[in-house]
Amino acid sequence: MNNANIPKDILVVASKLKDYVKIKHDLNTSANVMSMLSDIMRVLADKASENAKQDGRKTLMDRDFENVIF
């Protein structure tokens, strides 16, 4: 798939992350954080997907993320 056709949706549940950061660290969270984290998640998913393909699988699994270095 061409990267131009991939949607740039937010992949993070903003309210959950904001609640976590507020409760744990007593900080507010900027709206721009969601976009940045979504981009990071895409990179991690791309790298983990390559691991799944190298193992001959068509299912992305938790173990595919174990050795992913950002």
Ordered by start, the domain boundaries in the chain are 9-65
Across 43-69, average pLDDT: 95
pLDDT at 69 over 90: no
- The predicted model scores a pTM of 0.84
Q: What is the pLDDT of residue 42?
A: 95
Residue 14 identity (one-letter amino acid): A
Contact assessment for residue 29 and residue 18, using Cβ atoms and an 8 Å cutoff: yes
Q: What is the DSSP letter of 41?
A: H
CB neighbour list of residue 21: distance below 8 Å, 6 or more residues apart:
27, 28, 29
- Length of the chain equals 70
Note the pLDDT tens digit of each residue in 1-51: 677 788 899 999 999 999 999 999 999 999 999 999 999 999 999 999 999
Q: What is the pLDDT of residue 40?
A: 95
Q: What is the pLDDT of residue 70?
A: 67
